[in-house]
C-alpha cells in the first residue's frame, strides 16, 4: 500500500486541469449494456472506480479497452446477467448495472452493495422503481434477484432524491414500452450527462436536471460514438479549496462554473476571491478566512461530496462554523483524523461544530473514504510540518493523480510505500 507525504504551508500558484467526472462516466459505462455495439467515450479519467466498472462489464462478457482518456466498451458480447459480490463490494456504483441488465435480459442478479464509511447505503428506492416498472425483485443470499414479467412505462414517484436511483430507473425506462415519468428525480449534473449520452444512443429523455424526468421508451438503442464526459465538479471543488488555503492563487481549467454555484457562494462568504474565466475559475486565498455555516443538500444545494473538503478551510478560519450533513449523517470519519492535527471539532448529531484555530499541525493520519481522503490531503497542505496520509487507495478511486497536480503548482507532496 502507498501513503502520501506532505510538507505543509506552501503557497500554491499556477494552473491545474480538471478531469472527466467519475460519477458521470460510471452510469454512462453501465448504459453500454443497453446496446450491442462498440461504444467510444472520451475524457474518461484514469480512476480505480473506472477500472472496477470495466472489470464488472468484462465479467458480464463485454470487451473494454482504455488508453489516454479514451474508453472503448464493446457490449456486443455481453452474455451474463450476474454482478458478483467481490466486485460490487468494492464499488457501490456497481448497482447501476441492475436496470440495464433487466432491460437486456429481463433478469438480473446483482449483489447488494455493502455499507461504507459514509453510512448505510440502502437501495430501497431503486427496488421500488424496478417493481413499479413491472420487475419482480427478491432479496436473497445478499443478492438482488430481479425478473421482469412485463415491463411497462408508468409514473415512478421517489420518496427522496437519489442520484443512482434516478439513473437506474432512467436506464431501464429508456427501453421500456410506453412513457415513464420519474417524480422527485435527482437534479445532479451527472444525471443530465447520462441523459445526454442515452439520447445520443437513441433514447427519448426530457427534463433531466429537473425533478420531473419523462422517458418515452424505444425498442432499441445504438452505440455511443465519442461521447465526452462532463468535467468532475467535485474534483474542481476540491482544487478550489486548495486555492483558498495558504493564500494560494490557482487557475482551475476545464470546469463548469454553473455546476459549482453553492460551493462558490459559500467560498465567497469566507472572503476567498473567485473569478470565472471562460471554462476556468481563478481562486485566491486571503490571510483572513471567515467562518461560515453550511448544510449539505441535494443539487443544486451544497454537495455532500464537498463537505469534508470545506471543513478543512473552516478548521483554520477565524471563528465558529456549524456544518450540517443532511445526506449521509455519519459522513464525519475525517473529523477524528483532523483532531489529531489539532483541529477543534465537536460532533453534535448530524452536525460538526468547528472552532477555527490559528494553525493545525502535520501528523500521521488515515483515509477512510474517497472524499475524506481528499480532505486529509488538503489538511496536509495547510498543516505545519509533515503529514502522512495512509490508505490512499481511497483517494485513487476518485481522483486522478491529485498529488501530482498539487505538486505541479508548488505543493511539497509525494508518495511513499507504506
Ligand atoms: C451518489 O451516490 C454519488 N455516487 C455519491 O458520490 C454522492 O455522495 C451521492 O450521490 C449524493 O450526491 C455516484 O453517483 C456513483 P443517493 P448515491 O442515492 O446515488 C438515501 C462519491 O464520493 N437513499 O443520492 O448512492 C441515501 O442513504 C460518492 O463520489 C435511500 O434511502 O446517493 C442517502 O441518504 C459518495 N434509499 C440519500 O438517499 C435509496 O434507495 C442520497 O443518496 C437510495 C438512496
Q: What is the pLDDT of residue 284?
A: 98
Q: Enter the DSSP assignment of 209.
A: T
φ/ψ (deg, to 5) at 104: -80, -45
Quote the CA–CA distance of 182 and 334 in Å, as a whole number.
35
**What distance in angstroms lies between residue 161's CA and the mean position of ligand 1's atoms?**
9
Residue minimizing CA distance to atom 10 of ligand 1: 163
Lateral strand order in the sheet of 351-355:
294-295, 320-324, 351-355, 344-348
Ligand 1 neighbours by CB, cut-off 6 Å: 22-23, 26, 92-93, 121-126, 160, 162-165, 186, 190, 304-305, 327-328, 370-371, 398
Q: What is the pLDDT of residue 115?
A: 63
Task: Let me know the angle formed at the C-alpha of 143 by 165 and 175, rounded to the nearest 5 degrees.
Answer: 45
Q: Domain spans of the chain?
A: 2-19+231-417, 22-222
Q: Using alpha carbons, select from 344, 411, 415 the residue that is nearest to residue 380.
A: 411
Nearest atom in ligand 1 to the alpha carbon of residue 121 is 27
Q: Which fold has domain 2-19+231-417?
A: UDP-n-acetylglucosamine1-carboxyvinyl-transferase; Chain (3.65.10)
Q: Using alpha carbons, select from 345, 387, 391, 386 the residue that is nearest to residue 367.
A: 391
Q: What is the pLDDT along the chain (418 residues), one digit of tens a residue?
A: 899 999 999 999 999 999 999 999 999 999 999 999 999 999 999 999 999 999 999 999 999 999 999 999 999 999 999 999 888 888 999 999 999 999 999 999 999 876 677 888 899 999 999 999 999 999 988 899 999 989 999 999 999 999 999 999 999 999 999 999 999 999 999 999 999 999 999 999 999 999 999 999 999 999 999 999 999 999 999 999 999 999 999 999 999 999 999 999 999 999 999 999 999 999 999 989 999 999 999 999 999 999 999 999 999 999 999 999 999 999 999 999 999 999 999 999 999 999 999 999 999 999 999 999 999 999 999 999 999 999 999 999 999 999 999 999 999 999 999 8
**What distance in angstroms lies between residue 299's CA and the mean position of ligand 1's atoms?**
12
Asked, as a colleague might, if the bond just before 313 is cis with ω within 30 of 0, I would say no
C-alpha cell at 86: 467481490
Q: What is the pLDDT of residue 114?
A: 65
**Distance between first and last Cα of the chain:** 5
φ/ψ (deg, to 5) at 283: -120, 125
Quote the CA–CA distance of 122 and 360 in Å, as a whole number.
36
Q: Using alpha carbons, select from 91, 93, 95 the residue that is nearest to residue 110.
A: 95
C-alpha cell at 200: 445520443
* DSSP calls for 96-122: GGHHHHHHHHSEEEEEPP--BTTB---
- Check if 2-19+231-417 and 22-222 are the same fold: yes
Buried-state track 360-369, b at ≥16 Cβ within 10 A, e below 16: bebbebbbbb
* Residues 180, 211 contacting (CB under 8 angstroms): no
Q: What is the pLDDT of residue 120?
A: 80
φ/ψ (deg, to 5) at 255: -130, 160
Quote the CA–CA distance of 323 and 240 in Å, as a whole number.
18
Residues noted as catalytic: 116
Provide the CATH number for the domain formed by 22-222 in this structure.
3.65.10.10
Amino acid at each position: 500500500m502507498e501513503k502520501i507525504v506532505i510538507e505543509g504551508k506552501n503557497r500554491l500558484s499556477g494552473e491545474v486541469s480538471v478531469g472527466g467526472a467519475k460519477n458521470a462516466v460510471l452510469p454512462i459505462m453501465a448504459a453500454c449494456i443497453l446496446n450491442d455495439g462498440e461504444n467510444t467515450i472520451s475524457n474518461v479519467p484514469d480512476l480505480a472506480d473506472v477500472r472496477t466498472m470495466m472489470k464488472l462489464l468484462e465479467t458480464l462478457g463485454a470487451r473494454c479497452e482504455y488508453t489516454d482518456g479514451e474508453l472503448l466498451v464493446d457490449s456486443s458480447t455481453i452474455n451474463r446477467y450476474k454482478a458478483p459480490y467481490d466486485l460490487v463490494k468494492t464499488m457501490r456504483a456497481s448497482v447501476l448495472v441492475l436496470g440495464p441488465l433487466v432491460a437486456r435480459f429481463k433478469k438480473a442478479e446483482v449483489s447488494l452493495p455493502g455499507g461504507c464509511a459514509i453510512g448505510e447505503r440502502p437501495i430501497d428506492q431503486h427496488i421500488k422503481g424496478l417493481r413499479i416498472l413491472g420487475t419482480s425483485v427478491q432479496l436473497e443470499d445478499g443478492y438482488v434477484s430481479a425478473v421482469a414479467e412485463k415491463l411497462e412505462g408508468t409514473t415512478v414517484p421517489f420518496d427522496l432524491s437519489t442520484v443512482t436511483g434516478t439513473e437506474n430507473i432512467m436506464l431501464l425506462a429508456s427501453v421500456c414500452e410506453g412513457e415513464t415519468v420519474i417524480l422527485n428525480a435527482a437534479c445532479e449534473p451527472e444525471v443530465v450527462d447520462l441523459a445526454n449520452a442515452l439520447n445520443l444512443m437513441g433514447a427519448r429523455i426530457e427534463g433531466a436536471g429537473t425533478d420531473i424526468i419523462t422517458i418515452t421508451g424505444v425498442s432499441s438503442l445504438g452505440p455511443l460514438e465519442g461521447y465526452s464526459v462532463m468535467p468532475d465538479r467535485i474534483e474542481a471543488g476540491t482544487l478550489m479549496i486548495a486555492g483558498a488555503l495558504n493564500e494560494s492563487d490557482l487557475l482551475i481549467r476545464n470546469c463548469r462554473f454553473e455546476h459549482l454555484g453553492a460551493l462558490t457562494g459559500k467560498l465567497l462568504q469566507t472572503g476567498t476571491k473567485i473569478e470565472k474565466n471562460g471554462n476556468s475559475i481563478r481562486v485566491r486565498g486571503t490571510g483572513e478566512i471567515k467562518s461560515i455555516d453550511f448544510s449539505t443538500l441535494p443539487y443544486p444545494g451544497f454537495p455532500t461530496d464537498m463537505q469534508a473538503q470545506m471543513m478543512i478551510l473552516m478548521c483554520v478560519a477565524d471563528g465558529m462554523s456549524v456544518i450540517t450533513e443532511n445526506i449521509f449523517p455519519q459522513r464525519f470519519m475525517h473529523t477524528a483524523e483532523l483532531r489529531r492535527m489539532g483541529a477543534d471539532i465537536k460532533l453534535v448529531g448530524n452536525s460538526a461544530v468547528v472552532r477555527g484555530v490559528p494553525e493545525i499541525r502535520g501528523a500521521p493520519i488515515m483515509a477512510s473514504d474517497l472524499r475524506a481522503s481528499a480532505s486529509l490531503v488538503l489538511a496536509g497542505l495547510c498543516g505545519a510540518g509533515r503529514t502522512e496520509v495512509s490508505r490512499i487507495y481511497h483517494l485513487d478511486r476518485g481522483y486522478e493523480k491529485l498529488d501530482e497536480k498539487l505538486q505541479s503548482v508548488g505543493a511539497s507532496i509525494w508518495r511513499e510505500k507504506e
